[in-house]
Amino acid sequence: MKTTDLRPKAYALIRRIPYGKVATYGQIAYLLGCSPRLIGHFLATATENDELPWQRVVNTHGKISERGGEGEVLQRFLLQQEGVIFNARDKIDFNTYGSEPTSLKAG
């Protein structure tokens, strides 16, 4: 198993995130058995051609990670379009929108 093979695997898991739900970098990283930094890196190197729902990937704080761009606002906007509600602290309730790891592993 080459670590570089994790990228397509990470993409597959991210695409398994249900509509209107979100997952954390740590969850995907755990399912792949790698570091969460990789997940963020895979998304950072991802392109629109990958058709990745990167908007459904947030950090363990239930918030959107900063990337030094408008993407932060865009991600929040897209999530709201899917029905995801943000708390007063700009955080997402995983109890309501959190995707179960089993749901990602299952085809």
Partner DNA sequence: CGTTTGACTGGCC
Partner DNA sequence: TGGCCAGCCAAAC
Binding site for DNA (CB under 7 A): 2-4, 6-7, 24-26, 29, 34-41, 43-46, 54, 57, 59-61, 65-68, 71, 75
Closer of 44 and 107 to DNA (Cβ): 44
Closer of 20 and 65 to DNA (Cβ): 65
Shortest Å, Cβ 34 to DNA: 5
DSSP sequence for 46-105? --GGG---GGGEE-TTSSPPP-SSTHHHHHHHHHHHTTPPB-TTS-B-HHHHBPPHHHHH
Given a contact cutoff of 8 angstroms between Cβ atoms, the answer to whether 55 and 78 are in contact is yes
Closer of 36 and 101 to DNA (Cβ): 36
